[in-house]
Amino acid sequence: MNSENQSCVSAIIASRGDADASRARLAQASARADELEPQLKAFRFRPNHYDLDGAAGKPLAGLPIALKDLISTADMPTAYGSRIYAEFTPAEDAEIVTRIREYGGIVFGKTVTTEFAWREPGPTVNPWHSEHTPGGSSSGSAAAVGAGIVPLALGTQTVGSVIRPAAFCGVIGYKPTYGRVSCAGVHPCAPSLDHIGFFANTVDDVALAHALFVESKPEAIASQEAWSRYFEPRRPHKLGVVRTSMWNLPDSEQKANFEASLERLSAAGMTLVELDLHVDLPVLLDALQTILQVEALKGIGPLIDKHPDKVSERMKALTAAGAAVPAARYQEALALQAELRAASAVFLGGCDAVAMVPATGEAPLGLDDTGDATFCAPWSLLGMPAVTIPSGRSAKGLPLGFQLAGDRGADLSMLQIAAWVKAALPAFR
């Protein structure tokens, strides 16, 4: 089911005024979805008709974009992965959806999410092996891109819900700096941690999303020359390598792939620096879990009280844990988060970016477990930008990934480094 690794940036620039090219892109996406969806199950909803009026000449020029069903759309059902909202259509679009439409993008459909972006999975399968999870909570978005249905999809990340499923599905996953993309109109899981993120098959294409939705610079794709000035691969002077005190968690294949990737980068002229996290990973995880539990209780607890028969046991357990957290402990976790976000540069140790595994190994077998988010969590707590790129495959042929994180606000620089790293690593597909 997996797709070829092709960038859409040049195609968008070349066909911006060509309505026929936009219709052809949508027809191709629809045909592939019709072919794969009976097994893939990436989408909760796809419309029967797409309105291309006015898309020609705009920055996205009719580009089909899939949206995680946590993101409100006024013209499509939005269930937030919950049985409570099974028949719900919001009154207005989320802010990010408004911007997609203003740029001429087409909302191709709503993708499957876990319940309220927590751990209760939907039916989506991994595009590389249908017996394995695609990850979560942005399950359908990662799978839709990995299967080649759409060139760009949106997800959200509270702990690891962009980076991990991207690694499992063999695509690029990009989580911007916290707060740089508005979450207005996105159902909250834990507002102090929630991010919108992007999936694509190339670094150029998540950089396109960055240009439009993070920096609001449509002029960057006004021409191929403008794009070349805006975005090009950049080799870092120094790359920090972070394994953490929890290095026992990744399996042997993930570790071997990580080390092989580092060796290849070193051979290509990159200076590698071994780093420890400024604060031990278990401390960061404890603070994140405390914030997540309490804020999930605040936002989702009232829904559980009203509809206890329509909420999973996993969500009930999360909010019950939040009810047991003392108020002082929650405030301490928020204070630590604020302190560390203000000093995020120290986590880089003087390097241009840091490298870490995005997951503990290949996508787990079965659809009941969306995987371990331990190695995504630090960057969600700290609000630092992160990106994962495909870096190899397991013995089963499932994707493995290589994660980079950068300083807060240095998203573009991190993506440029990711483009250089991607080119230095072996071709994935």
Distance from C-alpha of 128 to C-alpha of 166, rounded to nearest angstrom: 12
pLDDT band of 249, cuts 50, 70, 90: very high
53 and 191 inside one domain: yes
In a domain, 4, yes or no: no
Q: In what order do the strands lie in the sheet with 386-393?
A: 43-45, 106-111, 64-68, 152-157, 195-200, 172-175, 386-393, 399-405, 353-356, 238-242, 271-275
Mean pLDDT of 311-316: 98
275 and 289 inside one domain: no
pLDDT tens digit sequence for 361-393: 999 999 999 999 999 999 999 999 999 999 999
Strands 353-356 and 172-175: unpaired
Q: Which of 1-10, 62-71, 110-119, 367-376 has the lowest mean pLDDT?
A: 1-10
265 and 119 inside one domain: no
Q: Which residues pair with 156 in a beta bridge?
A: 196
Residue 414 pLDDT exceeds 70:
yes
pLDDT tens digit sequence for 316-345: 999 999 999 999 999 999 999 999 999 999
Which residue is it, tokens 């629809």?
30
Question: Is residue 336 within a helix (H) or strand (E), and if so which, with residue range?
Answer: helix 327-342
Mean pLDDT of 14-31: 92
249 and 385 inside one domain: yes
Where among 269, 300, 330 does a domain terminate?
Answer: 330
Phi-psi region of 251 (alpha: psi -120 to 50; beta: other; left: phi over 0): beta
The CATH number given to whatever domain includes residue 61 is 3.90.1300.10
In a domain, 1, yes or no: no
In percent, how much of the chain has pLDDT > 70?
99
Distance from C-alpha of 202 to C-alpha of 33, rounded to nearest angstrom: 20
323 and 346 inside one domain: no
204 and 324 inside one domain: no
275 and 286 inside one domain: no
Residue 1 pLDDT exceeds 80:
no
pLDDT band of 4, cuts 50, 70, 90: low
User: Among candidates 424, 127, 183, 174, which has minimal Cα distance to 295?
Assistant: 183
| Residue-level pLDDT at 3 | 56
Q: Which of 429 and 227 is assigned the larger pLDDT?
A: 227
Question: Is residue 22 within a helix (H) or strand (E), and if so which, with residue range?
Answer: helix 19-40
pLDDT tens digit sequence for 288-299: 999 999 999 999
Identity of residue 264? R
In a domain, 429, yes or no: no
In a domain, 3, yes or no: no
In a domain, 2, yes or no: no
141 and 246 inside one domain: no
pLDDT tens digit sequence for 152-202: 999 999 999 999 999 999 999 999 999 999 999 999 999 999 999 999 999
In a domain, 336, yes or no: no
| Residue-level pLDDT at 291 | 99
| Residue-level pLDDT at 16 | 85
Cα separation of the two ends of the chain? 12
406 and 420 inside one domain: yes
User: Among candidates 123, 185, 196, 183, which has minimal Cα distance to 155?
Assistant: 196
Distance from C-alpha of 262 to C-alpha of 355, rounded to nearest angstrom: 9
Mean pLDDT of 81-99: 98
25 and 138 inside one domain: yes
Q: Which of the residues are catalytic?
A: 68, 137, 161
pLDDT band of 49, cuts 50, 70, 90: very high
200 and 274 inside one domain: no
Domain boundaries, position 310: 282-330
Number of domains in the chain: 3
Where among 230, 264, 294 does a domain terminate?
Answer: 230
| Residue-level pLDDT at 5 | 62
| Residue-level pLDDT at 7 | 87
Residue 6 pLDDT exceeds 80:
no
In a domain, 255, yes or no: yes
In percent, how much of the chain has pLDDT > 90?
95
Residue 64 pLDDT exceeds 60:
yes
Q: Quick one: 17 exposed, middle or buried, by C-beta within 10 A (0-12, 13-18, 19+)?
A: exposed
In a domain, 335, yes or no: no
158 and 300 inside one domain: no
Are 140 and 112 in contact by the 8 Å Cβ rule? The answer is: yes
Which residue is it, tokens 């000035």?
229
| Residue-level pLDDT at 422 | 97
Mean pLDDT of 65-73: 98
